[in-house]
Structure 1
Amino acid sequence: MVTAKAPKQKGSLRRLFAAYFRQHIGWFAAGTLMALLTSLSAMGYSLVLKMLGDRLQASFGDEAQVPVSGPDWIWWIGGAIVALSCARALSLYLMTLFNNTGVQRG
């Protein structure tokens, strides 16, 4: 089978981007921002769970080390976990929606 070599075209990727993706760049930028929010929410889990572990250890350990004032902090940490879960779920949904919309329109 004999094939001819295609002539090398310069700037073909730039033309492809300009023809199909440039008008939808806002969808991809919004998807990227939602990906950042998703990762920050997931990172917040580790911070909140570390605080929970430290507070539980302080409340069951030596009382002189860290004064713990009542069980109200458990509600705040529980609320933070629920809020982070909701934020992560919403941002993950919006990231998927924005990126898929950009791809389908591109």
Structure 2
Amino acid sequence: MPPRRGLKTSPCDYLAAGGTWPEGPLADDAPNEARFAMEVGQRLKAHCDANSLSMNAVSRATNVHTQTVINLLAGRTWGDLPIIWRLEAGLGTLLWVNSDLCPEG
């Protein structure tokens, strides 16, 4: 997939030195898109950990390829709306970021 306009190739490219995905921290100049991606990754990881779900189990429950789930959790992909929707529907949890990270206006 070609890079998104104005964004680095992967969300994890915005990690601060020594940071890990999806825990962080992000670099001070990281765009809000990276913050959204990190929040989705954190929510997905928390759900998987709380329910002892393997990546294969997530894949089976959501019809999302195992490697896509792994890449999302590692910050190597931005994730797109169909993927996020499938994950939410298949896992029965909300991953999409609410207005807390949205700029006011």
TM over 0.5: no
Structure with the higher fraction of residues in helix conformation: 1
Which structure exhibits the higher relative contact order, with contacts defined as CA atoms closer than 8 Å and separated by 6 or more residues? 1
Structure with the higher fraction of residues in strand conformation: 2
Classify the TM-score, shorter chain: under 0.3
TM-score (norm. length: structure 2): 0.28
TM-score (norm. length: structure 1): 0.28
